[in-house]
Structure 1
Amino acid sequence: MTVSEREYYDPATTNYWLPIDEIEQDRLDEIHFALKDLYDGNVLTKTHCLLRKGMKILDVGCGPATWLLDMAMSFQKCEFTGVDLSKDMFPNIKPNNVELVIADVLQGLPFEDGTFDFVHMRLLCRAFKKDEWETVFRELLRVTKPGGYIESLESDIRGETKLSKIFIDLSEQHDQNPRIAIHIGEILTKLGANIIQTDERSVNLGNNDILAAKFLSMIKHSIESLIPFIRPYLDLKEGDDPSSAIQELLDELKASEQKSVFIAYLAQKPE
């Protein structure tokens, strides 16, 4: 559906409340490369050592498939599959070792038990409700081979800035947990997986360096994507230019040296 000239999923079909248009594709590309810089690569250090020729790799919630395409170039002998709710952001051109499938993990993935050696999922804290995460990871474990691996990465919303409070409040309104990142290890352990690596990294947005600039740009574009939801918090009416209000939010992040925090987990399914 169209809201303020941006395309969004129908809320009757999914709880994902970010756009699904070309502007959003650019934002997701930007996030991919910022996270690649933050984590010194596309996967955790222990994951990188595990990847080998012939592995079948799944990316859940792949969006424009930026992670998949980048990985497929680095691991050309592996087979990659990406799933998302629609094909709206799928790329028109892809390498032969990448397949893209429309699927909803909450409805069950269209794969047999134990299909994949490695399953990857990240940045879906605005897609699932609080009580859906266990269902999601149970399904990821189902399609993972015995002895295979799952890697998950999510942001952890912390701090007392106005923007943090806005995101926390909006998450609660959507029955989502803005701090789900700190609980994912517990969920995976409860479902029988073994945590191999936990890697928390952060960016001080008050720093005057390239990485902080990248993440501030990413946050700016995230705010712009969510303006229809954030407008009431900024005392903006429909049609008002949000530029000054957005800049005030960013200035507070820098002045308070707010940290942008991410937590990644690598888990192994028992043999």
Structure 2
Amino acid sequence: MIVKLFGNRLFLAPFKLETGSRVLESAAGTENNAGIWALEFFEEHRKNDIILNMDCIDISDRQFPRDHPSNMHFFVSSVTDLPAEWIGRFSFVHQRLLVSALNDTLWRQAISELFRVLVPGGWLELVEAEGKDVHYGIGPNSTRLQSIFLQVYENKGHSGDLTALLSLVEKTGFVDIQSEIRPSRIGPSGENGYSSGEIGNFFRGLKRDVIEDGGGIYGVTEEEYESLVQESELEWNMTPDKAHVFYRTIVARKP
């Protein structure tokens, strides 16, 4: 879906790789990725007779693909603490959808690590969903759900502000920074982004964070939260494509 939003392009960075170039994909084993981007990126270059060396990391190997080319290596590692020997190793680093996994402190560590492992002249590409400028609320239930979502983010130390991420990339020392934003719209079919059910399941995934203290700070019980999600799905279905979430791609070069 993200690739479709950005004109069916797997990447936006203006580099040219050659056989033997090293590429890192961070967060390669997330539920919405499972190595798919890395496999497609490798294959796109292989069709042009360019055989890459790719390292793909995640904090869990649960979603790693079982079958992959021998030049691709999947292993457990954190982007906030990459191997010490990876100094100036990669020509391109790609990462997406970690905005809800890293708080502001961890983001500073992650961007610093990605800068360290890039070769001079190497490119970084980040793809993230906006966590602050959100537009889930189009009715009373989805508006309340959006308010809870923003409170959860704040209480976990996430600003969700991708403009702050842009600033962090610049402060770390990157240059030639570019950014593109695309809306992913929410409706019953998901043809213009996400289906209402997919977004509903995203919010169900936050249930543990919401009710871990009995729901006190958010004012809902587990049953009330599930009802809120279901009613929000109905609102998104009744008014297709009005609710949406922004995706931002950030591209930057290490000088």
Could you say whether these structures have the same fold, taking a TM-score greater than 0.5 normalized by the shorter chain as the test?
Answer: yes
For each residue in 1:112-162, what CA deviation from the matched residue of structure 2 results, as whole angstroms up to 9, or x when unmatched?
A: 211000001111112211122122111001000000000011111323523
Structure-2 residue corresponding to 1:264: 249
Structure 1: tracts of 5 or more residues without a match = 1-33
Distance of 1:198 and 1:39 partners within structure 2: 12
Partner of 1:168: helix, strand, or coil? helix
Report the CA distance shift for 1:103/1:131 in structure 2 as closer, same or farther (over 3 A): same
Distance of 1:163 and 1:100 partners within structure 2: 36
In the alignment, which of 75, 80, 94 is matched to residue 120 of structure 1?
A: 94
Deviation at 1:52, TM superposition (A): 4.0
Distance of 2:106 and 2:3 partners within structure 1: 27
Distance of 2:20 and 2:151 partners within structure 1: 44
> Is 1:177 paired with 2:159?
yes
Distance of 1:40 and 1:234 partners within structure 2: 41
Distance of 1:170 and 1:210 partners within structure 2: 29
Indicate conservation of the 8 Å contact 1:72/1:97, yes or no: no
Deviation at 1:111, TM superposition (A): 4.1
Partner of 2:123: helix, strand, or coil? strand
CA RMSD, 1 decimal: 2.6
In the alignment, which of 23, 46, 52 is matched to residue 78 of structure 1?
A: 52
Deviation at 1:215, TM superposition (A): 4.7
Distance of 2:61 and 2:168 partners within structure 1: 29
Report the CA distance shift for 1:81/1:87 in structure 2 as closer, same or farther (over 3 A): same
For each residue in 1:180-217, what CA deviation from the matched residue of structure 2 results, as whole angstroms up to 9, or x when unmatched?
A: x22222111111111342111112335977124x3534
Length-normalised TM-score, structure 2: 0.80
Structure-2 residue corresponding to 1:12: none
Report the CA distance shift for 1:215/1:39 in structure 2 as closer, same or farther (over 3 A): farther
> Is 1:224 paired with 2:204?
yes
Q: What amino acid is the match of 1:263?
A: R
Structure-1 residue corresponding to 2:83: 109
Give the paired residue count: 232
Q: What amino acid is the match of 2:62?
A: D
Length-normalised TM-score, structure 1: 0.75
Indicate conservation of the 8 Å contact 2:13/2:125, yes or no: no
Identical residues among aligned pairs (%): 24
Distance of 1:147 and 1:109 partners within structure 2: 21
Structure-1 residue corresponding to 2:140: none
Q: Which runs of 4+ in 1 moved over 4 A?
A: 206-209
Correspondence list, 1:15-26, <5 A: none
Greater share of helix:
1
Distance of 1:259 and 1:141 partners within structure 2: 32
